[in-house]
Chain A
């Protein structure tokens, strides 16, 4: 079953604009991760934020985490056509042996137009 949902389900913006996607989840987490998926490169890890962190940056990406509201947001600044993809948040629960079970949301389809 899906952990939560991303909002919006679809987003269309112009190149150069910022894109914000939100993710809600249901259970306690060890960390939350964001992934990008497109037909060309499959599912690619973007950024990880631990449960004791509130904000994290990586290049043009900014992620926030609010564990009290069980929500996260991903901001992509100065978007490019190459950012067109589906974006998923995934919460991680620790498994036996220390692995992480990722539970993905339903995704946001981002389209960046020239």
Chain B
């Protein structure tokens, strides 16, 4: 079963360092999403790609955050100059267009801890 995969699963970094996460969506899925989840809360939307185009970005995505999906397949999320408030689970999801509904399949997430 080739579901959504994310790498790494865990990342511990020091404040001020840059980190990059990777997401590999389900192969035929043209839509890809990033969400962030903090302890005790539901996931919050960060950004969305359709193929290689980034079509929506949340205001949560400060200028320290950048996401790419260069060939419309895998995606990367980079956080520059990490802060302790960036500690969270970063979730990636993908979907395939079927009418107006869009069932998103989530990966296992990357848990980031900023010391």
Q: Are A96 and B104 in contact (CB under 8 A)?
A: no
Instruction: Indicate if the CB atoms of B40 and A106 lie closer than 8 Å.
Output: yes
> Are B101 and A31 in touch, CB under 8 angstroms?
yes
Interface window among B12-20, B66-74, B76-84, B105-113: B105-113
A54, CB-defined interface residue at 8 Å: no
User: Quick one: closest B residue to A92, CB to CB?
Assistant: B102
Report how far A105 CA is from B100 CA in the complex, Å.
Answer: 22
B85-101 with Cβ < 8 A to chain A: 91, 93, 95, 97, 100-101
Assess whether B43 is in contact with A43, with CB atoms less than 8 Å apart. Answer: yes
Residue from A33, A43, A48, A96 in contact with B56 in the complex, judged by beta carbons closer than 8 Å: A96
Do B45 and A48 have beta carbons less than 8 Å apart? no
- Contact residues on A (Cβ < 8 Å of other chain), bracket: 20 to 34
Minimal beta-carbon separation of A73 from chain B (angstroms): 17
**B106 & A44 in contact (Cβ 8 Å cutoff):** yes
Question: Interface residues of B, CB < 8 Å — how many?
Answer: 28
User: Which residue of the partner chain B has the closest CB to A30?
Assistant: B100
A100 and B101 in contact (CB under 8 A), knowing A2-B42, A43-B43?
A: yes
A94 to B33, CA, bound (A): 13
Task: Let me know if A103 and B45 touch, CB within 8 A.
Answer: yes
A74 → B minimal CB distance (Å): 14
Residues B50 and A101 in contact, CB atoms below 8 Å apart: no
- B17-54: CB near A (< 8 Å → 1, else 0) gives 00000000000000101010000111111001010010
Q: How far is the CA of A74 from the CA of B28 in the complex (A)?
A: 31
Q: Are B106 and A101 in contact (CB under 8 A)?
A: no
Closest 7 CB pairs of A and B: A104-B42, A100-B102, A43-B106, A97-B50, A96-B55, A42-B108, A95-B56
17 contacts between A and B (CB under 8 A): A1-B44, A42-B91, A42-B107, A43-B91, A43-B93, A43-B109, A45-B104, A45-B105, A48-B101, A97-B31, A98-B50, A98-B100, A98-B102, A99-B48, A103-B44, A104-B42, A107-B41
